[in-house]
Amino acid sequence: MSKQFNESLVRYQLPEFESEWGIVHRGIEKESLRVLPSGHISQSSHPLVLGSTLTNPFITTDFSEALLEFITPAYGNIDECLQVLENTHRFTLQNLENDEMLWVASMPCPMGSENEIPIAQYGSSNIGKLKTLYRHGLSNRYGSLMQAIAGIHYNFSMPVSFWQPYQKISGHQGSLQEFQTQKYLHLIRNFHRYSWLLVYLFGASPAACKCFVQGREHSLQELDEHTLYLPYATCLRMGNLGYKSEAQKSLFVCYNELSSYADCLNQAMHTPYAEYEALGQSRDGEYIQINTNLLQLENEFYSTIRPKRNVKDGQRPLQALTEKGIEYIEVRALDLNPYLPLGIDAEQIRFLDTFLLHCLLSESPECHEQEFFEVSSNLALVVEQGRDPKLELQMDGASIRMTQWANELIEDLAHSASMFDHIHGGNNYEKSLAVQAEKVANPELTPSGRILKDMKEGQMSFFEFSMQQSRAHQAYFKNNELSSEVEKMMRDTASASLLKQKEIEAQDSLNFDEFLADWNNT
């Protein structure tokens, strides 16, 4: 047993850590816009060859009919997880018509107006209509442009083989479900404290097309006649240009207890909001939002991380969480990396696992309102100024240079990296940590720094840079055939999903008015 590993056990107050405890399960959800060869958003319906957006477990849509979402199951092996994601991309790109591509950037392609963004359709079942109506509500509340932004969601969980001995080591006397939920909340609180580091290291949206901010107030500078940017920005997707809700700014969502988290969201889902009441639930005889409450659904709450649980058909996510506890967490702070065909790679995943295990095992005091706003301020600063070497953040009410704090964190993360290398053999996790340390020392090595450097040196607009990368990745996926077995599996899954959608549609017993009224009363 190495000295470094022994030091890691001391750091996390663990008497032991067996190899089978650390087989992390991770799944990836990756969004990408379907675009025409011209680089403009596709107006066509979701391709039938990809199956049903309602029921295909691998390929669905997010806000728009053109915003594809690729989903992997949870895997204990990183390479298997990425291989499934690659197969799904390859199957999709080899079957898209009209030479359509996948847009590689998180910030959208050029658009003339919000009307050019087709809202996702999920069929004629009540649940399918509800999903589409929810998206109409998002469009009416926040505008469609914001919803066309793409990202990567990283689902992370630890195995039962970890939770049982960890509960015993911790001396927790309650149920395993209670302990697991408590510790995932522990992870979430620490994640909020340190998520600015992920945004600095992996943020890849320092610029956007001018059309994206049409008619909106902003503080961006002009890079060229088509591109706006900020010189030290890392992740505009996470700032005022991206996912945000003025209405939700009043929400202080507490992650100290699952009950307080659930109560806050439940209250927001049942509290009318004046601006949304002014819109009305319907217009000209057509529904335009699910309801006029602050949140239509749980998923409308914007956050960089979410506690999650797999749900049964017809069950509300919040209900499943409160009844059965947290099963995994979903990280939502990641941009697509335009230099990578999948937008993410094994090296980044190793760092994410290292970071999340550290958040889980480190001390995590309960969060209070003052810290909540301090954390929000730190994130906003790194979003817009992260590569400024003089940037200072707030830690417990005192100023600290961001680079100093980042180096201290990475040094501390060496403990969880050591544990993973001990489990898997080799030093891949240590190497991943070293790569990130280099980014702290040299901001030009970050994705955001590389993008701006390449755009300036190549005299390319954001659009031209994104098109160049999109075409390169399209060629990568189209020039390598899928195996016949994988091709058949993907086609069979798509066909089965279409049949499953028809079954769901045939089972409805209520009309949509009745279904919606029941939904809003639960």
The alpha carbon of residue 126 and the mean position of all alpha carbons in its chain are separated, in whole angstroms, by 27
Answer for the pair 109, 342: CB distance below 8 angstroms, yes or no. Answer: no
Per-residue confidence (pLDDT) for residue 243, from 0 to 100: 58
Instruction: Output b/e per residue, 388-421; b: 16+ Cβ within 10 A.
Output: beebbbeeeeeeeebbebbeebbeebbbbbbbbb
Determine which helix (DSSP H) or strand (DSSP E) holds 467, and give its type and residue range: helix 462-478
Q: How far apart are CA 187 and CA 190, in angstroms?
A: 5
In angstroms, what CA-CA distances link 283 with 7, 113, 136, 183, 277? 63, 21, 12, 45, 12
Rounded to the nearest 5°, which phi and psi values hold at 234? -115, -45
DSSP 3-state of 469: helix
Q: How far apart are CA 358 and CA 349, in angstroms?
A: 14
The pLDDT value given to residue 415:
95
Q: Which amino acid is at 169?
A: I
Q: What is the DSSP letter of 64?
A: B
Burial readout 363-381 (b: 16 or more C-beta within 10 A, e: otherwise): ebeebeeebeebbeebbeb
Q: What is the pLDDT of residue 242?
A: 66
Answer whether 415's CB lies under 8 Å from 8's CB: yes
C-alpha 462 chain-centroid distance: 22
Written as tens digits, the pLDDT of the chain (522 aa) is 567 788 888 889 888 888 887 899 999 999 999 999 999 999 999 999 999 999 999 999 999 999 999 999 999 999 999 999 999 999 999 999 999 999 999 999 888 788 899 999 999 999 999 999 999 999 999 999 889 999 999 999 999 999 999 999 999 999 999 999 999 999 999 999 999 999 999 999 999 999 888 777 788 999 999 999 999 999 999 987 765 667 777 777 889 999 999 999 999 999 999 999 999 999 999 999 999 999 999 999 999 999 999 988 778 999 999 999 999 999 999 999 999 999 999 999 999 999 999 999 999 999 988 898 899 999 999 999 999 999 999 999 999 999 999 999 999 999 999 999 998 999 999 999 999 999 999 999 999 999 999 999 999 999 999 999 999 999 999 998 999 999 999 999 999 999 999 999 999 999 999 999 999 998
What SS3 state is found at 435?
helix
Q: End-to-end CA distance of the chain, in Å?
A: 54
- How far apart are alpha carbons 402 and 408 in whole angstroms? 10
Domain assignments of the chain as residue spans, ordered by start: 3-520
Please give the CATH topology (third level) of the domain spanning 3-520.
Creatine Kinase; Chain A, domain 2 (3.30.590)
Nearest partner of 265 among 240, 293, 305, judged by Cα: 293
- Beta strands 328-334 and 392-395 are unpaired
